[in-house]
Structure 1
């Protein structure tokens, strides 16, 4: 039965993207290969799973489209979930993972930005040039409150949840972080599983958020190559 379910799920997934070539990965035309190339190269160089080199995700193509006009701005960015390689921690990157990889890519892409990161794995936390990292357990409201108190920034331009890929944890972080997003900021939840989409859809509609659920075509990943973007 599981094989049959997976077969039809994969078939439905491919039908959804029928007719889309490599320039239409996110339901709109990519404006320029040059535009997309820089951030993807950085993500792959540092070992992040956002760039496609490890065949997990290809989010950097989409990010290049929405952030290209901001790359020289004084962006304040927070990413939760830094790529733990501790196999005992849920949603880890595996033993060969590269902690802080995406933070380094964001730092190089946003040359005038402040880059903050947070993770539950204290062993991977460290500060580098224009990168500061903090502890957070995104399942706990108090821990999230302490995170923002410790960072001591009033507002953020970009907040990315790439931490624990569980619906309840994502909602906990959203509910306690969204108020720190500036009026033109963007909040992103990565790696949304197929099984959780309707939960998010119902919740976000009920709360009257301005959001999009974005499926990005991926040849190898049909389970969670999906983002939710939320704007104020």
Structure 2
């Protein structure tokens, strides 16, 4: 065999080995990317997961815009999350949000506050991967006891109020539980349309009314942000308030 043929054969073999190694590396990197959730477009988003479990967060309401906006970038972190309301008052029963959060936030440490003891106890075997506390979200004594018991090992990254939606419930929960949100964390209030419903303690007159509703409370927080005062106790460490139809997200300052 001539020297040129020998060199050509060696070159072909080397090129084949290089391409084989390169292809194996690409396959390995692709598998690692998928397993490590480095290809986000291959994963279901909040709306897709929520529709799978039937929660009204994405059917009756359009809360997916807020949840993907604030949680999509941190969903693979270890997050401590509290939701007020297990869903016992819903036609489809409790658990829709429970399963949604477990899938959307794979490393979540999940807590619930539920008023209906009978319902919560009935479904406790179906909510085994969450810590469920029974109590009234308008009861500040209960909320203080809950806060002390659940934050000894750390504050909450996210709190979601999807509870009873009355004015005293939403306001009492915000004022007490805001202290349990970690710096940089989020406090979400859903179903704020009830601020205009008399049956929930709201007022159809809106901001022009002298009656305090959850929305007028949030207006005061915005006023405090804009003029740099603290008429409301929590105003001194509110970083931002972001609202769309029926829902607002408050973010706590990271540094005071």
Structure 2 CA distance, aligned partners of 1:99 and 1:185?
Answer: 26
Q: Secondary structure at the match of 1:69?
A: coil
1:25-84 CA distance string (max 9 Å, x none) = xxxxxxxx95995211221222211112xxx21102321121111111000000011212
Structure 1 CA distance, aligned partners of 2:134 and 2:55?
Answer: 20
> Looking at CA atoms only, which structure, 1 or 2, has the larger radius of gyration?
2
Q: Pairwise CA RMSD of aligned residues? A: 2.4
Structure 2 CA distance, aligned partners of 1:43 and 1:124?
Answer: 22
| TM-score, normalising length: structure 1 | 0.69
Matches within 5 A, 1:125-144: 125=120, 126=124, 128-144=127-143
Structure 1 CA distance, aligned partners of 2:159 and 2:110?
Answer: 10
Count of equivalent residues: 180
Matches within 5 A, 1:206-225: 206-207=231-232, 208=235, 209-216=238-245, 225=246
1:159 matches 2:177:
no
Task: Specify which structure has the bigger relative contact order, considering alpha-carbon pairs within 8 angstroms and separated by 6 or more residues.
Answer: 1
Structure 2 CA distance, aligned partners of 1:140 and 1:198?
Answer: 21
Aligned counterpart for 2:220 among listed residues 202, 224, 227: 202
Judging changes above 3 Å, is the alpha-carbon distance between structure 1 residues 176 and 70 closer, same or farther for their aligned structure 2 residues? same
Structure 2 CA distance, aligned partners of 1:44 and 1:230?
Answer: 26
Structure 2 CA distance, aligned partners of 1:141 and 1:180?
Answer: 13
1:124 matches 2:119:
yes
Aligned counterpart for 1:97 among listed residues 81, 89, 92: 92
Q: Secondary structure at the match of 1:175?
A: helix
Aligned counterpart for 1:83 among listed residues 78, 87, 109: 87
Structure 2 CA distance, aligned partners of 1:41 and 1:136?
Answer: 31
Q: Secondary structure at the match of 2:72?
A: helix
Matches within 5 A, 1:62-77: 62-77=66-81
- 2:6: which partner in 1? none
1:85-141 CA distance string (max 9 Å, x none) = 3xxxxxxx2xx2331311211111111111111110112322635322111211111
| TM-score, normalising length: structure 2 | 0.63
Structure number having the greater helix percentage: 2
Q: Secondary structure at the match of 1:147?
A: helix
Deviates more, 1:33-42 or 1:158-167: 33-42
Deviates more, 1:111-120 or 1:187-196: 187-196
In structure 1, the gaps of 5 or more residues are 1-32, 86-92, 217-224
